[in-house]
Amino acid sequence: MDRTARVAACRATIGIVAGSGPEAGIDLWAKILRRNAAALGPAFRGDLDAPRVVVLSEPQLGLSMDLAANEGTVWDAMQSTATRIAGQSDAWAIACNTLNWFAPRIASLELPAEFVSFPGVVADWVASSGLRRIGLLGAAPVTEMGAWSAYRDLAGLVEIETPADRAVLQDLIHDVKRLGSADPDLRPRFARIVEAMQAETLLLACTELPLIADVSTSKTLVDVTDLVADALVARSLAGRDCAVI
C-alpha cells in the first residue's frame, strides 16, 4: 500500500443524515469540503485529500417540522437511519437542528460511530465565544425553547433572544423547503426578521436559513452548520498522519 492509500485508509469517514431537508444535507457536505481544504492549506491536493463522506437522505424525516404531532413516525425513521449511518461512518451528524432533539435517545442506542450533535457543538462555541447574549433563529419547535427544543439547555449558558413572531419565521422556513432557496422573495423576508432582532449575534439554528443568509446586515450571523462542519472535519483529519512513515 503506497503512502496516499495508507493515509486515506486511516482517515475517519464522515456521515451525514439528510432529508429534513435534502438541500440542507448538500449544504453541510459542501461546507465540509471547503473546511477540509482550508484545514489542509497548501498541502491540499484536490480529490485525493477530500474527506470520505457517506450521506443518507430519508424523506420521512421531513415530518420534523411538526415534531409534536409526528414524534413516533419521525423517531422510527431517525432510529433506522442512525443505525445505518453509524455502520458506515466513524463520526456523523444530522443536517437538521430540530431532529437533534433526539440526541439523548440516539446516545442511548450506543451506536458504533460518534454522533456529533448540533447542541453539543453550539454549547462548546458559546463557552469559547465569551458572548452573554445571542439571538436564536430556527423552526418553531426550536425557538419556543420548550420541551421540543434541542436548544432548551442553552439558556443556562447565555441569554437567549427569540423572534417576537415565531410564526413568520416558521412560514419562511416552510417556504424555503417548498420553493427552494433560489426563490427571490425569501431573502427580503429573512432580512426583515434579522433586522427586527435586538441581539447583535444571531445563531442560525435551522439548516434552511443559511441557504438564504446572503443578505446585507450589520448583525453577525453564525451558521450552526458551519460549526458542525468544523467539528466533523477535525474528526476526519485527526488520524491523518497515523500511517505516514
Query: What pLDDT is stored for residue 8 in this prediction?
Result: 53
Q: What grid cell was written down for 73?
A: 413516525
Q: How many CB atoms lie within 10 A of CB 136?
A: 26
Question: Rounded to an integer, what distance in angstroms lies between the CA atom of residue 70 and that of residue 100?
Answer: 15
Which DSSP category does 162 fall into? -
Question: Rounded to an integer, what distance in angstroms lies between the CA atom of residue 60 and that of residue 77?
Answer: 6
Q: Between 1.10.4080.10, 3.40.50.1860, 2.60.40.290, 3.90.920.20, what CATH number should domain 120-224 receive?
A: 3.40.50.1860
Q: Which of 139, 134, 161 is nearest to 149 (CA)?
A: 139
Which CATH code for domain 3-117+228-237?
Answer: 3.40.50.1860
Q: Where in the chain is the domain with CATH 3.40.50.1860?
A: 3-117+228-237, 120-224
- Stated as kind and residue range, the H or E segment containing 42 is none
Query: What pLDDT is stored for residue 3 in this prediction?
Result: 45
Q: What is the pTM of this model?
A: 0.88
DSSP state string for 84-121: HHHTT-SEEEES-TGGGGGHHHHHHTT-SSEE--HHHH
Query: What pLDDT is stored for residue 21 in this prediction?
Result: 84
Query: What pLDDT is stored for residue 11 in this prediction?
Result: 80
Contact between 169 and 142 (Cβ < 8 Å): no
Query: What pLDDT is stored for residue 65 in this prediction?
Result: 83
Contacts of 150 (CB under 8 A, 6+ apart): 97, 98, 99, 100, 101, 103, 117, 118, 119, 142
Local confidence pLDDT in tens for the 245 residues of the chain: 444 444 455 689 999 999 988 989 999 999 999 999 999 999 999 999 999 999 999 999 999 988 999 999 999 999 999 999 999 999 999 999 999 999 999 999 999 999 999 999 999 999 999 999 999 999 988 999 999 999 999 999 999 999 999 999 999 999 998 999 999 999 999 999 999 999 999 999 998 899 999 999 999 999 999 999 999 999 999 855 444 33
